[in-house]
Amino acid sequence: MNYNHEHKAERIGWIRAVVLGANDGIVSTASLIAGVAASQAVTDNLFVVGLAGLVAGAMSMAAGEYVSVSSQTDIERAELALEQNHIEENWELEVQELALIYRGRGLKPDLADQVARQLMAKDALGSHARDELGITDLAQGQPLQAALFSALSFSAGAALPLLTLLVVSGAMVVPAVAVVSLVALGTLGSVAAAVGGASKLKAAGRVLFWGTLAMVVSSGIGQLFHLSV
């Protein structure tokens, strides 16, 4: 029997970075264009405004992801170094600590102690990192990779409403940008859910709701600014 039991956990990291970046790119750029267009302040320069938003947003996303993942990695390394000291200073206590964790998961005391000793004999730090600290190779982030994925995905997302400005002008700008952006958001949510094995309808509905809300609020603020001038 050929039994293929595939999990999606290994995809979580890059799916998160790509979806977050593209979603932010679409929503922030479309909302920026909608707000500025509603204010009628610089309608002739909407493309420049949108392009500036794309560049600034991509750099911000990259910097934010790099700092966030780097901070997480630094904390994990510090925790691993501390755990390594504990193992070197008191091996037996660390064995009992690991055995206690396994007992809490349902193993009998003797078996838990046996498993703890065998695992620590093979990889003491790895055993404690995984079962005590919750640090695994899968969970450890790559700062540069996260930054690059975020910047590229943000730029790709932001390019959609921006390119719409090259095709549509005048009073149809905001409706066109809104339609293109919402279609893109719905598609993005559905595809990401499909790749991750989640509900496509739920994911699409979630991004559509927040994307619509962001554009409506931005347009409202732009309109208020126009009326007050």
Residues in contact with 54: Cβ distance below 8 Å, sequence separation at least 6, in sequence order: 25, 29, 154, 155, 158, 159, 162
pLDDT value at 15 more than 70: no
Tens digit of each residue's pLDDT (9 = 90 or more) over 136-188: 765 556 788 888 888 999 999 999 999 998 888 777 888 899 999 999 998 88
CA dist., res. 197 & res. 192, Å (int)? 8
Query: Across residues 100-110, what is the average pLDDT?
Result: 87
Tens digit of each residue's pLDDT (9 = 90 or more) over 76-97: 888 888 888 988 888 888 888 8
Residue 110, CA distances (Å) to 114, 118, 131 in order: 6, 12, 18
Query: Across residues 122-145, what is the average pLDDT?
Result: 77
Contact call for residues 189 and 1 (beta carbons, < 8 A): no
Contact call for residues 22 and 114 (beta carbons, < 8 A): no
126 confidence band (pLDDT: 50, 70, 90): confident
Query: How much is the mean pLDDT over the chain?
Result: 82
Contact call for residues 143 and 65 (beta carbons, < 8 A): yes
Tens digit of each residue's pLDDT (9 = 90 or more) over 21-50: 888 999 999 999 988 888 776 666 888 888
196 confidence band (pLDDT: 50, 70, 90): low
pLDDT value at 205 more than 70: yes
4 confidence band (pLDDT: 50, 70, 90): low
pTM of the model: 0.72
